[in-house]
């Protein structure tokens, strides 16, 4: 039976000291938990980044190979272009030189530039002009020179001059 006029005050095991202690532990645990969570997140983030970097690396590797191939191809193209350019310059010089070689009294009707030779078609007033003024310089350039003459109108001659360079010798000279 209850005899008291008043009801007892609420009692709690959480005294000020215990509350302080619990607060301390709670904060500590909370901090540990937060740190753990943060580390978990960072770990996940790092793994994710690592995965991305690996994929990127793979892509870069592939890209690098492609680029190397392209570089090789471009270098080849460059070499080729340089070669062509050089050849063109040489050809240009050759043609220029060729036209310089042609004396004003001889008229060329056709010129064929071969890899290792030159075939000239034209008209000359006489054989001597040709022999002295054209054949002499051609012989100094080419190793083999063959000339054929065909009579034309008014005592003129049509000629075909076939000139070859000895390739082996040329190569040796290049070397």
Instruction: Report the interface residues with another protein, using CB under 8 A.
Output: 1-6, 8-9, 11-15, 18
In this complex, which beta carbon is closest to another protein, that of residue 11 or of residue 115? 11
Name which of 19 and 77 has its Cβ closer to another protein.
19
CB 120 within 8 A of CB 161: yes
CB of 13 to another protein, least distance (A): 3
Residue 164, helix vs strand vs coil: strand
Total Cβ atoms within 10 A of residue 34: 10
Q: Which of residues 15 and 107 has its CB atom nearest to another protein in the complex?
A: 15
Residue among 23 and 77 whose Cβ is closer to another protein: 23
Q: How many angstroms from the chain centroid is the CA of residue 58?
A: 22
Residue 34 C-beta: closest distance to another protein, Å: 25
Q: Are 154 and 144 in contact (CB under 8 A)?
A: no
- Least gap, CB of 30 to another protein (angstroms): 19
Least distance CB 49 / another protein (angstroms): 44
Q: Is 147 exposed, middle or buried (0-12, 13-18, 19+ CB in 10 A)?
A: middle
């Amino acid at each position: 039976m209850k005899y008291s006029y008043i009801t007892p005050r609420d009692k709690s095991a959480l005294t000020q000291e215990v509350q302080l202690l619990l607060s301390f532990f709670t904060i500590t645990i909370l901090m540990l938990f937060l740190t753990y969570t943060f580390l978990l997140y960072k770990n996940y983030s790092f793994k994710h980044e690592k995965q991305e970097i690996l994929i990127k690396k793979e892509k870069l590797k592939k890209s690098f190979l492609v680029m190397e191939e392209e570089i090789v191809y471009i270098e080849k193209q460059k070499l080729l272009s340089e070669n062509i350019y050089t050849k063109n310059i040489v050809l240009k010089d050759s043609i220029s030189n060729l036209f310089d070689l042609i004396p004003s009294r001889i008229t060329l009707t056709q010129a064929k530039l071969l890899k290792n030779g030159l075939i000239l078609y034209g008209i000359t007033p006489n054989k001597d002009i040709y022999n002295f003024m054209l054949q002499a310089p051609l012989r100094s350039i080419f190793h083999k020179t063959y000339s054929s003459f065909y009579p034309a109108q008014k005592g003129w001659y049509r000629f075909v001059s076939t000139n070859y360079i000895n390739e082996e010798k040329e190569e040796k000279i290049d070397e």
